[in-house]
Amino acid sequence: MYQVNRTLSNEQSYDALIVGIHEQEGLHSILQEVDKNLEGKLAELLKAKQLHTKKGELTKVFTFGQANAKVIYTVGLGSKKSFDLDSLQNAIGKVARQVTTDKLANLAIAVDSFQLEGASTEELIHAITESIELAAYKVDTYKEKSNEKPFTIESVTLIGEEADESWDKVAQTGRAFGEGTNLSRKLVNLPGNMLTPTYLAEEAKKVADKHGFEFDVLEREDMEKLGMGALLAVAAGSDQPPKMIVLKYQATEKWEDVVGFVGKGLTFDAGGISLKPGLNMHEMKGDMGGAAAVLGAMDIIGHIKPNKNILAVIPSSENLINGSALKPGDVIRAMSGKTIEVRNTDAEGRLILADGVAYAKQLGANYLVDVATLTGAVLVALGNSTTGVVHNNKEWYAEVEAASEQSREPIWAFPTHKPYHDLLKSSDVADLNNAPGRLGGSITAGLFIGEFAEETPWVHLDVAGTAWTSKTTPIGQPGGTGVMARTLAYLAAK
C-alpha cells in the first residue's frame, strides 16, 4: 500500500495530492512545481486566501487534467508554534476521511510539508501512516446492507527529498501500529452475544497463528486443577465457559527477562448480583477493553518483532446472574492461595485479574503490566482523556510512562500510601476485601491486583475512562478507542 519517492513522478498519475500549509507560509516546493502547469492559479488562490491555512481546514482544488494529480488537497496546519504530533494526526485523519468519502484510491503525500519542530522524519512518517490506518476504521453495523463494498484507499506514495528505503520500513511500522489499534477497537465494539470468552480465544488464536506465537487456552477443568478460584467464582454466574488465554512471543534463546501483559477479558459485565443500573449497560460489552489492548499490542509486536520476550495472559468470563452466581459475602480462594471476601460482585475485574497476574508470574513474567476497564472512579478522578495508574516500582513505571509519551496516550500515577493498602485488609473473615468502599476506589482496586503481583515490578493501567468514547474524531468513531495497544507495543520495543 505504501510507496516512497523523492519527487512527484511525471510518469505516474494520482487521484489526489495532499500538501500541508502553515499560516503565513508560501506554496510548498511541490505545489510550486504543480503550479507551473496550472499557470500560477495556486499562487493566486493563496494570495486571495482561498487556500485555507487555519488548523484543520481543507481546500480542494481540481486540476482539470493539467497536473498528474486529479485533485489537490491543501491541509491547513495553523501556526508552526502550535503544530504538534497530535495536530498532525488530526490533520492527516481528516484528509484521509475526506478522500475516502470522495472515493479517491491513489494518493500522494508531500511529507516535507508537514514538518514540525522537535520531531524526526521517522516520527513524521510513522504518525502519517498510523493516522491513515486509524482514520480508515469503521465500526461494524448489522443493518441490512447493499451489495456495495466499503471504499478503501489502495495506495499512498510518500514524497520527500530525503526519501529512501528506510522510509518504507517506518511506513510499514506506522501501518502496523494503526492496524493493531483497529483490532482492539473492533473487539471492543463487538456485541456481547458475539464476543463471548470462547470467541475472544478464537480471535487471540488468529493473532497467534498470524505471527507464529505460542498459544494456549486453559479450560474450566484446567483452572480447577490450578486453583483459580477467583476467575471461576466470577464465571459461575454465566452459561458461557471461562477461558484463560495465553500468547507467547519469544525473541531470545532463553525464556528470561519476560514482560507480561495481563488484560481484563470481561466480555459482558452486568454486575452480577450487585446489578448495575440499566442506563448505558449496553456499553458493558466493552469491559474487555484491557484484553483488546493486549491483543492489539501483540498484533503490532508480531509485525515489529522486538528483541524482548513478551507474554500475554487474558482471563476471560462474563459477569451475569444465575442460581450459581457469586454472592456478596462469599469467601473465595485465588490461585495464589489468598482468600477474598466478596463485598461487591460488580468489583469482579480485580478478581479475574488476581488469577491472571498469578498465572503470568507462574509462566515466567519478570515484569508485569495489567490493563483493565476497572473502575468508574477513575472517570471522576481523571475524566476520559487520561489513564489512571497504580504501581509498585518507580523504575518500571518510568518505562511505561515513556512508552505512553511515545504513543501520546496520557497516563497518571495515583498515590499508594499505606492507608490505602490497609483498606484492603478490612475483612474479618478473609485476607482481602474486594470492595472496601468508594473512597480512593481506583487506588484500592489497583492495589488489590498488586497484592497478587507481590514483589514483581508491576504497573496497573485503568482504562475505564479512556477505552470508550462517545465522540467522533478525525481518527475515530464513537465506541472503542483501542487505547494502550500502542503504549504496550512501544514498551515491548524498548
| pLDDT tens per residue across span 411-446 | 999 999 999 999 999 999 999 999 999 999 999 999
Return the pLDDT at 374: 98
Helix, strand, coil tally for the chain in percent (to 5): 40, 20, 40
Is 80 in the active site?
no
Going by C-alpha positions, the residue among 30, 21, 109 that lies closest to residue 57 is 21
- Strands 69-78 and 339-341, sheet pairing: unpaired
* Secondary structure of residue 458 in the 3-state scheme: strand
301-333 residues labelled b (16+ CB within 10 A) or e (exposed): bbbbebebbbbbbbbbbbbbbeeebbeeebebb
The reply to whether the predicted model has a pTM over 0.95 is yes
Say what percent of the chain tops pLDDT 90. 94
DSSP 242: P
Going from N- to C-terminal start, the domains of the chain cover 2-163, 183-493
pLDDT score recorded for residue 146: 61
The three grid cell numbers given for residue 425, joined into one nine-digit string: 485488609
Give the confidence band of 469 by pLDDT, cuts at 50, 70, 90.
very high
Confidence (pLDDT) at 330:
98
Contact 169, 296 (CB under 8 A): no
Which range, of 19-23, 138-142, 172-176, averages the lowest pLDDT? Answer: 138-142
**Mean pLDDT estimate for the chain:** 96
The mean per-residue pLDDT over the stretch 51-68 comes to 94
Of the candidates 185, 186, 248, 350, the residue annotated as catalytic is 350
Query: Residues forming the annotated binding site for Mn(2+)?
Result: 264, 269, 287, 346, 348
DSSP letter assigned to residue 282? G
- Amino acid making up residue 347: A
Chain segment 225-283, per-residue pLDDT in tens: 999 999 999 999 999 999 999 999 999 999 999 999 999 999 999 999 999 999 999 99
Categorize the per-residue pLDDT at 137 as very low, low, confident or very high, splitting at 50, 70 and 90: very high
Per-residue pLDDT at 403 exceeds 70: yes
Q: What's the topology of domain 2-163?
A: Leucine Aminopeptidase, subunit E; domain 1 (3.40.220)
Assess whether pLDDT exceeds 80 at residue 145.
Answer: no
Q: pLDDT (tens digit, 9 = 90+) per residue, 327-372?
A: 999 999 999 999 999 999 999 999 999 999 999 999 999 999 999 9
| pLDDT recorded at residue 9 | 77
- One of 41, 55, 205, 276 is an active-site residue; which one? 276
Handedness of CA 343, 349, 355, 360 (dihedral sign): negative
pLDDT at 164: 92
Written as nine digits, the cell of 137 is 476504521
Q: What is the pLDDT of residue 144?
A: 78
φ/ψ of 297, rounded to 5, equals -65, -40
Mean pLDDT of 60-71: 94
337: left (phi over 0), alpha (psi -120 to 50) or beta: left
Q: What is the reported pLDDT for 436?
A: 97
Would you state the pLDDT for residue 11?
77
Does residue 350 have an active-site annotation? yes
Predicted pLDDT of residue 324 = 97
CATH topology of domain 183-493: Aminopeptidase (3.40.630)
Topology alike, domains 2-163 and 183-493: no
Nearest to 91 by CA among 135, 60, 50, 126: 135
User: Is the confidence at residue 389, as pLDDT, over 80?
Assistant: yes
Is the model's pLDDT at 147 over the cut of 70?
no
Binding site, by residue number, is: 264, 269, 287, 346, 348
> Looking at residues 209-221, what average pLDDT do you find?
98
